[in-house]
Amino acid sequence: MRPVRAACLGTATALAALLACAPVTSAATGAGSAQAKGRAPVLTLTAELAQRTPFPVNPGGPAAQGDRVVVRSILKDEGGNVVGESGGTCVLTRAAVEGDPGGAEECIVTYALPDGQITAQGMYFGTLNPGPPPSFDNAITGGTGRYAKARGTVHSDTTIVDGKVVRHLTFTFA
């Protein structure tokens, strides 16, 4: 039996990040924002895994290249208020190999927020290791509404809180 992989958000997640944060409505603009002070705007959220459905290439067998997982997470601000959701897919691109049992996945995640959506994608590693996966960074590839033409990175740190996968996401807009 292969180990259960934590959900990917990338960048969702997350994911999960993803998605402990500034209020969504004022995170990227305003006189007191990072952008107004000459720094890149930042948005931080948490993403709590709500659903995870695996589609293995070899059902009941070891992890294999091409295994896919579909995930959905609930996005919350620092006050614990629900501000949206994320959804994404990850494909295993490298199964466990001699000397590297961790594997690697390519993930594409969309974060749906009240003022628009943010899309992100990228690789993350160590997905087959037991416990939370290592931190990772993915590219922000675009968005809609308030986030139209968004670019930058989303950083994800994953923890297990009361048995739930939680991603702590930091979006840094270029």
- What's the whole-model pTM score? 0.77
| Residue 74 CB neighbour total at 10 angstroms | 17
| Cβ contacts of 155 within 8 Å, gap of 6 or more | 135, 136, 137, 169, 170, 172
Tens digit of pLDDT per residue, the chain (174 long)?
333 333 333 333 333 332 222 233 333 433 334 444 667 799 999 999 999 999 999 999 999 999 999 999 999 998 999 999 999 999 999 997 777 778 899 999 999 999 999 999 999 888 888 877 789 999 999 999 999 999 999 999 999 888 888 999 999 999
What is the CA 117 to chain-centroid distance, rounded? Answer: 13
Residue 17 in contact with residue 168, Cβ under 8 Å? yes
Q: b or e along 54-73 (b: 16 or more beta carbons within 10 Å of the residue's beta carbon)?
A: bebeeeeeebeeebebebbb
Distances from the Cα of 46 to the Cαs of 1, 32, 104, in angstroms?
30, 22, 23
Q: Which CATH fold would you assign to the domain 10-173?
A: AOC barrel-like (2.40.480)
